[in-house]
Structures are given as structure tokens and as C-alpha cells.
Amino acid sequence: MSSRDSVLKAIRKSQREATPLPTLDQNWLTFDDPIDQFTTVLESVGGKCIQVKSLSEINDRLAEFPQFESANVRASTIEGLGLPTFSLDEIDDPHDVENVDFAVLAGEFAVAENGAVWVTDETLKHRVLHFITQHLALIIPNKNVVNNMHEAYKRLSFEGGRFGTFISGPSKTADIEQSLVIGAHGPRSHVVFLVDDAF
């Protein structure tokens, strides 16, 4: 018998009486001002949230960040934003984005309860950019802020297969004596722009 069949057989042999799935239709936590909650939680996990009226305002705000000003290599997936120094489309090997200092990428929506932003590789050829860049800025329409993770999963579909991740703040570790260090392997800073404009 194959291992598959013997494992499944062993499980079936010991399967006990079926229990039902619970309902997920509950009055889950919501907030009077989800954007305010998102901003507070994101700050508590080492990130920053900035609200802007228009996409064009973002470049001015980015210029206020020393890590943006001093970045030698910049990448962006949003036209007109982030002063990219090269075109991502021309890169074939993900290893070649190793030296990106600052990346400006699109996020789909934000979650108020935990400061997370859902990002995918739908418009991004090399998903590694989210994790390899030294500094990360995510851009989200401000109408896309949900209260909690249950609302978040209502928006998600995984049909056809695609990569997606919730990112909540910059990369971090506390593995040395529980001292929090920001910038473990991935981004050392993380800023989320909530924009009035749709894009």
C-alpha cells in the first residue's frame, strides 16, 4: 500500500463521530473609526500610516523620509510614484532586486484590528520585493480599510492561485533576549499611505 493510502486508512479507522462547523456569522469587533484604529495599531508594531488626498501628494511626503532621499536604488509599481531608478519589468531573476533600498508598492486593503495590509503579486513580477527591500511604502485607497480579519477573508478569493500576504509593520525579531529589533531580514521601515483617490 502507498504511504498515502496507509495514512488515510489509519485516519479513517480512528475517525470519530462527526461534529459540525461553527458559524462565523457573529458580531465581531468593529471600530467607530477604523482608519484611526489602523493607524494606532500600525504604530504599535513599528510602522507608520499617513493619510493623503491625492496620489501626487505622496511623492512630496516620501521626500520627507531620509531613507527615501538617501536611497540609491528605488522601485515602484505605481506610475508616477516613488521615483523608480529602474523598471521592474526588465528584471528576470528575482535575485537582481537584492539592492533595492526603497520600494513603493500597491496594497489591496488594510485591517484596522491588527495594522495588517493585504498585498499580492498580481501586479508585481517579483514578490520577493516586499521582503528584500530595505524600506517599504504601501499605497492603499482609504476606502479599503476593514475592521477585522473576518471581514478581510470575505474580500479574498484564492481561485486560480496567487500569492498574497498580510504585512503588519516592518520585519522584526526579538530572538536575542526578547529585545525588539526592527529590520530582521526584511524592511527596516514600513509606511502605509491611505489615499482618497482610487487608483
Which residues ranging from 92 to 111 are in contact with other proteins (CB under 8 A)? 94-95, 98, 111
Nearest distance, CB of residue 24 and other proteins, angstroms: 6
Alpha-carbon distance of 61 to 52, in angstroms, equals 9
Instruction: Give the closest residue to 52 by CA, choosing from 61, 43, 65, 40.
Output: 61
Nearest distance, CB of residue 20 and other proteins, angstroms: 6
Here's the x/- map for other proteins, 109-128, by CB under 8 A: it reads as --x-xxxx----x----xxx
Stretch binding other proteins (CB under 8 A), from 1-9, 55-63, 65-73, 79-87: 1-9
User: Binding to other proteins by residue 12, rule CB under 8 A?
Assistant: yes
Strands 164-167 and 116-120: antiparallel
Name which of 64 and 185 has its Cβ closer to other proteins: 185
Q: Which amino acid type is present at position 185?
A: H
H or E segment to which residue 36 belongs: helix 34-44
Instruction: Give the closest residue to 34 by CA, choosing from 194, 156, 168.
Output: 194
Instruction: Give the closest residue to 101 by CA, choosing from 123, 69, 125.
Output: 69
Stretch binding other proteins (CB under 8 A), from 59-67, 77-85, 137-145, 168-176: 168-176
